Amino acid sequence: MTSTHPNRVSLPDILTSWKQTTELIFPRVCASCQTFGPSMLGAGALCPLCDQLVRLATLNLQTTTLPGTRLPVVSAGRYEHELGRCVLAYKDAGRTDLSPYLASALARALTCLLELSEGELEPAEPIYLVPLPSSRASIRRRGYAPAPLLARAVLPLLRSPVPVKVADALAQVPAWARTSPGQHRSKAQKTLGIEERYRQMQGKLRVGKPALHQLGRYYSLEGATCLLVDDVFTTGASLREGYRVLSHRGARVLGGATIAYVPKRQRYNTE
């Protein structure tokens, strides 16, 4: 006969109680509205209200053309309110716990981009997500590179008829090594027009090297099908430079995807 112990506490119950106690002592703070307390118990990086608002903000996809090219760029939402604060917190406040929310938004944009590019896909050939790189100084300051981290988080969420992989095929050129018109910055980036900003970006990106490049491995981009990935689309200067570098090495770039875009009126109101 098997005896039961109604007062026995299971391990999951202990872990749940420990988590609840920890959250009371070290309250979780919403990355968007900064609220804390009962509404955040058991929540993720966002309170229930901000969670819902971010989901709603990323339902209306925006498709535009990358300036100077014919490439489509798809963004999940506008860079404002809750979504804007989440992107900013993810990039500059160390809130990497926002990754699931932002990856979900980016997945919508990439799915739309894949549908737009369906006629150009080769069934047996993989597609490479190429994230826009951060500078070494930014990576040291943050401890991570936002776009590459998101590109990897989005992979399990994508439904694609062809294999999708991440390739860190772009890297920033150190300031001392730049010899292009973008070598010297004369104005703050946010005060530049589209073409001026692109000229400032020229020469700042190069083809990156894999982690094992010392063993003879290098990115072979000839004929590779690529999609550019970034967090925010403002003027498109970074995406355009990424497109130039990859295309120059023989890659076939079909477009770009971002979490958010900055509306023109907002872009110029901040100048």
Q: Where are the domains of the chain?
A: 60-269
* pLDDT in the model for residue 76: 98
202 or 151, higher pLDDT: 151
Mean pLDDT of 83-93: 96
* pLDDT in the model for residue 119: 85
Using only C-alpha atoms, the chain has a radius of gyration, in whole angstroms, of 21
* pLDDT in the model for residue 124: 80
Q: Collapse the DSSP code of 75 into the 3-class scheme (helix H, G, I; strand E, B; otherwise coil) and give the result.
A: strand
Angle (CA) 153 156 162, round 5°: 120
Report the distance separating Cα 22 and Cα 194, nearest Å.
48
- Residue 212 in this model has a pLDDT that exceeds 60: no
Query: 255-268: per-residue pLDDT in tens?
Result: 999 999 998 765 54
**Measured in whole angstroms, how far is the alpha carbon of residue 88 from the centre of its chain?**
11
Mean pLDDT of 236-259: 96
* pLDDT in the model for residue 219: 72
DSSP output for 225-254: EEEEEEEEESSSHHHHHHHHHHHHTT-EEE
| Lowest mean pLDDT segment, chosen from 37-41, 87-91, 180-184 | 180-184
pTM for this entry: 0.82
On whether the CB atoms of residues 69 and 240 are closer than 8 A, the answer is yes
* pLDDT in the model for residue 35: 87
Report the distance separating Cα 223 and Cα 207, nearest Å.
15
Pick the CATH number of 60-269 from 3.40.190, 1.10.3470, 3.40.50, 3.30.70: 3.40.50
Report the distance separating Cα 239 and Cα 74, nearest Å.
12
CA atoms within 13 A on the CB side of 174: 3
* pLDDT in the model for residue 269: 43
Among residues 145, 152, 80, the alpha carbon closest in space to that of 110 is found at 152
Report which residue type is found at 52.
Q
Sheet hosting strand 62-65, strand order edge to edge = 62-65, 72-78, 252-261, 225-233, 127-131, 164-166
Indicate the DSSP class of residue 124: T
Residues whose CB is less than 8 angstroms from the CB of residue 220 and which lie 6 or more positions away in sequence, other chains included = none
